[in-house]
Every structure is written in structure tokens, then in C-alpha cells.
């Protein structure tokens, strides 16, 4: 019996996977899988021979989303499924989660098709506090900005960013910056094949470099056991996601990986910050079993 082939898809900017994943090839090989790494848009790669494709550090997908989705659609087997990648690669998915009862960050959505004037955009900025501007299709902190609502130069910079994004045909999100992230921390629950693998605390601070004016995100990750409350939250989110995907796709589709980012709201509940099903860093180096759990999950799907 020949070994199943697994190709881990990456990007030219991050061709060797995320930190903590360097042992993944060896872990897969030890489980009877023939693994390799390939950049998703490398024209020299024959994807017909890729076997099962597992999407990993495709951190540039947002710069060519349609090309990325066309590539995913062309693959015989890809996880997460191409339909999932299409849905999750545009942050309008948060609107669906909110409709289904999950608490998300209050967001003002600006459509590039609307032709907003500067006055219309300005009227949608918060009157106080910090706020965040980001495109609806984005990866990491590329094109994401944090601004002070009471600082005139920063409001002007936010205006320039929004108008630039809209002019290039990109929908925009405006969200109040969540101080809870700094005060209470952000939690990531990582599910593999529908089962909770590990949980991490993240201190993710988005700030502006005072010299360059560029936005910088610093992230500190530490593993810990999930509380009973977080487990309930995670299960609620997982159930809602799978129910929605089942309706959308017309069949049951198990996510290979699913990272759910939440932040406590300070009132006994939480906000869903993000559900990462495309270029998700799974923080496999945060705890001893995480990488083995992922290798097991991939191997199980490879032999299906």
C-alpha cells in the first residue's frame, strides 16, 4: 500500500510554516504519511500530484483572494474545504455569526460599491476612544490601523486609509478598539477535527510606531487549560459554526483546524474576535502535545 501524500501549503513570505510547526513534517512521516511543503502560487508545483493539501501559512492570500480561491477550487482535496476558505476569507462572516446569536464586536461596515464621501465616512467614526480600521479581506495586521478618535491627525490618517481601501474596491470595517484585550487578554481555543486540542492566552497589542507611523502588533502566547466556562463558550461557537456550514454547503463538513479567538467582555460573557479557518497559526509550539495532535488529525484525514 502506497503512503498517502500530504502537501502543506505556504506562502513565499513564510515558506517554512509557522513557528512551532518545524517538526510537523517528521511527525507526519512517522505516521506513515509522505509530507512536503509547497508555496500555494508557485507555478512550478504540480498540484495534481499534491495529494491532500493542508492550508497553512498562506499569509498573502488577501492580496490575491480570487486567485487563492481559484487555486483552492482546482484541488482534488484541500482542508479546510475550498467553500470554507471562501466563506472565512471575508470577514463579513462575522455578520452571520452575529445573526446566529454569537456576540461579536460591534462593527460599522462600509461597502466599496456605495461611493461614500469623506463626510459620510467621518460621521461613522466613533466620537471617543480608540478605533480600528481594517479591510474585510485581510490577513494579519496588513492594512489594519488603530487610531484615536479625539486626535485630529489620527482621524485624518484613518480617513485616508478608509478612502484608499474603498477606492481600490475593498470593503472596510470600523470597530471600537477593545480595551478588554489589554486588560483581560485574548484566548484562542484550537479545535482539530472538531475536538479541542489546546488553549492559549494571547496578549496582542496593536499600536502605532511613533517614528514610522506604521501599525505594529506584538503577540505573546502562553498555553493553559481552558476553564469550564471557556469550554462551554467554545462548544457553543463550534456548534453554531458547523450548523451554519452544513446549511451553506448542504452537507456535513468537519473542519480539520479551527481556531476561535475570544475575549471576555467583563460581564461574564465574551466577544468572538475571529474564527480562523484559512491562514490560522495554531500555536503548535505552545504546549507539548499540540504538534502531535495536529499530526494525528492530518493523518486521520489523509487515510480517509
Higher pLDDT, 233 or 12: 12
Gap between the Cα atoms of 275 and 171, Å rounded: 19
Specify which residues 134 forms β-bridges with.
173
Mean pLDDT, residues 107-119 taken together: 94
Peptide bond into 73 cis (omega under 30): no
Q: Identify the residue whose cell numbers are 462600509.
A: 110
**How sure is the predictor about 181, in pLDDT bands with cuts at 50, 70 and 90?**
low
The pLDDT score that the predictor gives to residue 239 is 87
Average pLDDT, whole number, for the chain?
89
pTM (2 d.p.): 0.89
Is pLDDT above 70 for 128?
yes
Residue 190, pLDDT score: 94
Better-predicted residue by pLDDT, 235 or 58 = 58
Asked if residue 82 lies in contact with residue 53, where contact means CB atoms within 8 angstroms, the answer is no
pLDDT at 230: 83
The span from the CA of 285 to the CA of 283, in Å, is 5
Q: Flag the least confident range among 106-110, 160-164, 180-184, 295-299.
A: 180-184
Share of the chain above pLDDT 70, in %: 93
Q: How does pLDDT run across 138-171, given as a tens digit for each residue?
A: 887 778 889 999 999 999 999 999 999 999 999 9
Cα separation, 245 vs 96, in Å, equals: 11
Show the cell assigned to 14: 513564510
Least confident among 42-46, 111-115, 125-129, 244-248: 244-248
Stretch 58-70: mean pLDDT: 95
Amino acid at each position: 500500500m502506497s503512503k498517502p501524500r500530504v502537501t502543506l501549503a505556504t506562502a513565499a513570505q513564510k515558506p517554512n510554516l509557522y513557528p512551532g510547526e518545524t517538526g510537523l513534517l517528521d511527525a507526519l512521516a512517522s505516521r506513515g504519511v509522505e509530507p512536503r511543503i509547497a508555496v500555494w502560487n508557485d507555478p512550478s508545483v504540480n498540484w495534481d500530484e499534491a495529494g491532500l493539501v493542508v492550508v497553512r501559512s498562506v499569509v498573502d492570500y488577501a492580496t490575491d483572494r480570487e486567485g487563492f480561491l481559484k487555486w483552492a477550487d482546482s484541488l482534488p482535496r484541500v482542508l479546510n474545504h475550498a467553500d470554507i476558505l471562501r466563506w472565512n476569507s471575508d470577514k463579513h462572516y462575522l455578520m452571520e455569526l452575529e445573526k446566529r446569536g454569537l456576540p461579536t464586536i460591534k462593527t460599522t461596515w462600509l461597502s466599496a460599491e456605495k461611493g461614500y464621501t469623506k463626510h459620510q465616512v467621518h460621521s461613522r467614526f466613533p466620537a471617543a476612544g480608540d478605533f480600528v480600521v481594517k479591510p474585510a479581506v485581510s490577513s494579519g495586521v496588513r492594512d489594519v490601523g488603530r487610531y484615536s478618535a479625539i486626535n485630529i491627525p489620527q482621524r485624518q490618517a484613518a480617513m485616508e486609509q478608509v478612502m484608499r481601501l474603498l477606492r481600490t474596491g475593498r470593503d472596510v470595517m470600523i470597530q471600537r478598539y477593545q480595551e478588554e484585550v489589554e486588560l483581560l487578554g485574548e484566548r484562542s481555543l484550537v479545535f482539530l477535527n472538531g475536538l479541542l486540542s489546546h488553549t492559549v492566552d494571547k496578549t496582542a497589542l496593536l499600536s502605532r510606531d511613533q517614528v514610522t507611523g506604521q501599525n505594529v502588533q506584538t503577540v505573546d502566547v502562553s498555553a493553559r487549560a481552558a476553564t469550564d466556562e471557556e469550554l462551554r463558550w467554545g462548544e457553543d461557537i463550534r456548534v453554531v459554526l458547523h450548523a451554519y456550514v452544513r446549511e451553506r454547503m448542504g452537507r456535513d463538513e468537519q473542519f480539520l483546524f479551527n481556531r476561535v479567538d475570544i475575549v471576555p467582555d467583563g460581564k461574564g460573557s465574551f466577544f468572538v474576535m475571529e474564527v480562523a479557518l484559512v491562514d490560522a497559526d495554531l500555536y503548535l509550539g505552545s504546549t507539548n502535545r499540540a504538534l502531535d495532535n495536529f499530526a494525528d488529525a492530518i493523518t486521520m484525514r489523509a487515510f480517509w
